[in-house]
Amino acid sequence: MTAKEGPPAPDLPFPIFQISQRARRYLLYDITTVTWLRRTHNILGVFIGSLPQSPQQNLFLGLPLELQPEEVELLVEKGLAFIVNDLHTHRKALYSPPAQLEEHKANAYKEGLAAARAVEKQKHLRTQEALQRFSARQKTPDASSDIDKSKDNDAEEKEESLFDAPKTRSSQSTSFDLIPYTSTPTTSYPPILLPSDQSSSSLPELNAASYALFKHLHSHGYFLSPGLRFGCQFLVYPGDPLRFHSHFLAMSAEWDEEIDLLDLVGGGRLGTGVKKGWLIGGVEKKANSDVEPDPASPYMAQREDAEAIDPRVRTFCIEWGGM
């Protein structure tokens, strides 16, 4: 058996649209990018778009996908994405339409017209099949009397008169131009051109301890989603949340931050009550030592470079043993 191929990768780096200058909300509209990130890079985000067929419920949502600030920082840091100001980009495109806009409209018209023809063809086939089934039911082999024969003849004449009109209407409808189907794409690029500058100057403002904990857990293959409903920062899953329950309720803290004992007890009891562990993590600070290391040592140079790139994060799991 051959392994199933994953979703196709988008063009890298892909855009992340910032829709609010103050709230710093970041959205993805392309389903290909969303699927690829979830499958390849363990990025979940939160769907915030309502479904067209069920707009009055919020249990099952769709595009766009809102990313956590930590996810945005991680994607930009890895060079997979860059941030685009949604308002400035679309305003510039409206004032000066790109050259390929007319070509994009023509292709959309052709696709809509082909879809309309396919639907009309399916309707015609269903009508013909229904007529054949109806006429087959009306043809009975038993005709015992002339009265029954006359009734059958009258019924056949009525059937012909009933179904002659739709045939003429269908033949007449083909003479008119079909109205092409219209569809609203989830992305506007193309035809809108993305900015050439991909420096991502408007990065989200993050707590250093929170991002370090997120990056540490993500580097170990965990999936992380917002943990507001459980009173924590992140819900930590060992795999895709569609297949696994979360194992930890994660909270970040500074290394020398004082934590109230009641918070530890409450967190441990909360985690145990929902069959999870209460996890606290933060960046470990270097302890003061009387013995100074040799700066010329290659081991110390490698260690300092590694800590500068990815500082050491320590995590502690608390569970309540009295339940």
237 is an active site residue: yes
d(CA 186, CA 63): 8
Q: If DSSP codes are grouped into helix, strand and coil, which group holds residue 266?
A: helix
Catalytic residue (one of 237, 247, 275, 286): 237
d(CA 81, CA 72): 8
Q: Nearest CA to 322 among 275, 279, 268?
A: 268
124 is an active site residue: no
What DSSP string runs through 72-124?
Answer: HHHHHHTTSEEEEEHHHHHHHHHHS--TTHHHHHHHHHHHHHHHHHHHHHHHH
Catalytic residue (one of 78, 88, 123, 245): 245
- List strand residue ranges (DSSP E) for the chain, in order: 14-18, 26-28, 46-49, 62-67, 81-85, 223-226, 234-237, 248-252, 277-283, 313-318
Q: CB of 65 within 8 A of CB of 47? A: yes
Residues 6+ apart with CB under 8 A from 240: 38, 223
220 is an active site residue: no
Q: Nearest CA to 126 among 86, 166, 156, 94?
A: 166
DSSP 12: S
Catalytic residue (one of 276, 285, 286, 299): 276
d(CA 275, CA 2): 37
Active site residues: 237, 245, 276
